[in-house]
């Protein structure tokens, strides 16, 4: 079945450093959503990307959707300890359909 891979699996940064996680698929993605899950918490929706080459920003977070719609990235500028958690991409194949989650990237930020 469809597999969405994320790299890296884990990243440990010092506060203030940048962080990027990449989401890759072997097939064309309909659209991509990003979620954040804090340790012991539940996934929280961050953003949805639909168009080829789309770039969206939320404060220190920048989301990109590849031109071929086979990959996506999330970049965090100047990480803070509040950024700690696991970031998942998820393919949303359309209206009222299941999400296929990526493998996730766990981010640890230390002072």
Instruction: Give 29's DSSP letter.
Output: -
Measured from the CB atom, is 50 or 77 closer to another protein? Answer: 50
Residue with smaller CB distance to another protein, 7 or 99: 99
Q: How far is the CB of 21 from another protein (least distance, A)?
A: 13
Tell the smallest beta-carbon distance from residue 7 to another protein (Å): 13
| Least distance between another protein and beta carbon 73 (Å) | 18
Contacts of 5 (CB under 8 A, 6+ apart): 23, 24, 25, 102, 103
Cα 7 from Cα 86, distance rounded (Å) = 12
Sites of contact with another protein (CB under 8 A): 33, 41-45, 48, 88, 92, 94-104
Angle at 77 between CA 53 and CA 90, to 5 degrees: 50
């Amino acid at each position: 079945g469809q597999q969405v891979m994320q790299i890296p699996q884990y990243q440990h940064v010092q506060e203030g450093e940048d962080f990027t996680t990449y989401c890759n698929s072997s097939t064309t993605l309909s659209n991509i959503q990003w979620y954040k899950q804090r340790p012991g918490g539940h996934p929280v929706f961050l953003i949805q990307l639909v168009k080829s080459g789309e770039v969206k920003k939320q404060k220190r977070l920048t989301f990109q959707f590849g031109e071929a719609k086979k990959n996506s990235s999330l970049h965090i500028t100047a990480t803070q300890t509040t950024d700690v958690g696991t970031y998942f991409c998820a393919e949303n194949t359309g209206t009222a359909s299941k999400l296929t989650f990526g493998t996730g990237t766990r981010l640890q930020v230390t002072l």
